[in-house]
Amino acid sequence: MDLLKDIPEASVITDPDLLEPYRHDESHIMGERPLGVVRPRGPAALRELVRRAKSEGFGLVPRGAGTGKAGGCAPLGPCVVVDMGEWPGAIRVSHTDLCLWAPASAMLKDVKGAALDQGLYYPPDPNSWDQCSFGGTLATNAGGPGACKYGMTRHWVLALDALLADGEIHSFGIPTVKCNTGPNLAQLLVGSEGIFGLIVSATVKLIPAPAQRLTLLLPMERWQDLLDLPGRLVSAGYLPAAFEFWDPAVLQDLRAHGPEAARRLPGEALALLEFDDRDCAAEPFLEGLLEALGDLGEHLQTAVGQRQREDLWAVRRMTSSHLKERYPHKVSEDIVVPRSRIREFFRRLEATGMPAVTYGHLGDGNLHVNLLGAGATDPRELERQVETLFSLAVGLGGALSGEHGIGLAKRDAFLRFTDPALVESLRAIKRALDPMGLFNPGKVL
């Protein structure tokens, strides 16, 4: 294709069959076939891409490993996908500065592994941590079970380099925790889903790696007893590194149709808790935790050895793919509500009569609500159910996405449920940074 001929420092894909996988990510959203895919290996490629995008009128859609859940990298209109998989650079760790630099092309598992090799820890751990790219986690502000204690990706970003609409790569921030020189543009780019510019690398802060982990299964004889537990533990001074859960319906399905490790899961509902505090494996810590749990800790089980811990986490991380395989047309929404409103949320959800099952990150209120009957539900009724779900979350002081983002999947809902002043402010920033609308057109705003 002449449009993408002779792009310097890049690999180019224009074969229609090879372009098909670039129409979608891991969501149910199917975009349009891109004009082509460019995999840049240097700034000259990006500079030329921006020049041609301006002169030829096409958009630039950034893409990492394609593991997103909101259609954020699905092309819309005439677009070229900018696949950052070949962007150069080796991961660098600084013990003195407690930070790590990595290119957008690095895999998150390698970023986390490089930190651990130095006795350090980079906490962000989305469910696809072993498959997603570092750049993708920055663009989407990835979360995961560890957000319960450690927050989202943006909490760890110190500085980043990004391509802007002038065709040049600019640096924002410095590799230290203190930098108070006006508004932080690096943080504006984190989680922006590529609509303001294209992230090419970043420096993130690290902490000393936890020396111990305590992994616990907490079966519940009554599902409702689980819902007040996050607040109860925090009030008692316990902040889990992760607090995951399965409601009765999801647990029953896993037992009946899941892997062997899932078939042995106990309880009507079930929580998976993990602590990484100093001395969390010592007897006094567990005794204090049991006191905080009271009667609810009667059937508490400790993971015996690393193998059992890995098996438990494997079941948690495959829950989404398990339900997707069982119910191919299901719709999963990752709404979030404050911990103090979790019980109220489930009471109101039950009152709606919607056929929903739920699992996810109970410790931070990020609930993966699945409408399993979506394939057999009238589209208008399904739309009503999703809007009801979003209304519940927002009405309780939450949001319509806890970690997956907006992309194409939730764009209409975002515009409907968000303060118009906020939307217009974001659009004004978009116009200022990207006046021709080159970057990821049609997403979020």
Number of residues assigned to the chain = 445
Provide CB contacts within 8 A for 263, sequence distance 6+: 254, 255, 256
Whether the per-residue pLDDT at 272 is higher than 70: the answer is: yes
Does residue 24 lie in a domain region?
A: yes
Cα–Cα distance, 46 to 38 (Å, whole number): 9
Of the candidates 86, 117, 133, which is a domain's last residue? Answer: 86
Mean pLDDT of 16-39: 96
Q: Which of 77-91, 202-216, 312-326, 389-403 has the lowest mean pLDDT?
A: 312-326
Phi-psi bin for 151: left (phi > 0), alpha (psi -120 to 50), beta?
left
Residues 283 and 236 in one domain: yes
Does residue 428 lie in a domain region?
A: no
* 124: containing domain: 92-208
33-71 confidence digits (pLDDT tens)? 999 999 999 999 999 999 999 999 999 999 999 999 999
Residues 229 and 291 in one domain: yes
The reported pLDDT for the residue numbered 1 is 58
Of the candidates 208, 229, 246, which is a domain's last residue? Answer: 208
10-19 confidence digits (pLDDT tens)? 999 999 999 9
Does residue 71 lie in a domain region?
A: yes
> Rounded mean pLDDT of the chain?
95
Does residue 239 lie in a domain region?
A: yes
Residue in the structure block whose two tokens are 């943006």:
154
Mean pLDDT of 183-206: 97
Residues 287 and 162 in one domain: no
Mean pLDDT of 140-162: 97
Mean pLDDT of 440-444: 96
Does residue 402 lie in a domain region?
A: no
Nearest Cα residue to 155 out of 122, 119, 115, 129 = 122
Whether the per-residue pLDDT at 425 is higher than 80: the answer is: yes
Whether the per-residue pLDDT at 374 is higher than 90: the answer is: no
In CATH, what number is assigned to the domain containing residue 77?
A: 3.30.43.10
In CATH, what number is assigned to the domain containing residue 162?
A: 3.30.465.10
Residues 367 and 304 in one domain: yes
Cα–Cα distance, 1 to 390 (Å, whole number): 43
Residues 220 and 343 in one domain: yes
The reported pLDDT for the residue numbered 440 is 98
Whether the per-residue pLDDT at 375 is higher than 90: the answer is: no
CA 26 centroid distance within chain = 12
Whether the per-residue pLDDT at 261 is higher than 90: the answer is: no
The amino acid present at 327, given as its one-letter code, is Y
Residues 96 and 189 in one domain: yes
Residues 286 and 200 in one domain: no
Q: Over pLDDT 70: what percentage of the chain?
A: 100
Residue 9, classified by CB atoms within 10 Å of its CB into exposed (0-12), middle (13-18) or buried (19+), is: middle
Count the domains in the chain. Answer: 3
pTM over the 0.85 mark: yes
Tell me whether strands 331-336 and 366-371 are parallel, antiparallel or unpaired: antiparallel
> Within 13 Å, how many C-alpha atoms sit on residue 235's CB side?
10
The reported pLDDT for the residue numbered 95 is 95
Residues 176 and 307 in one domain: no
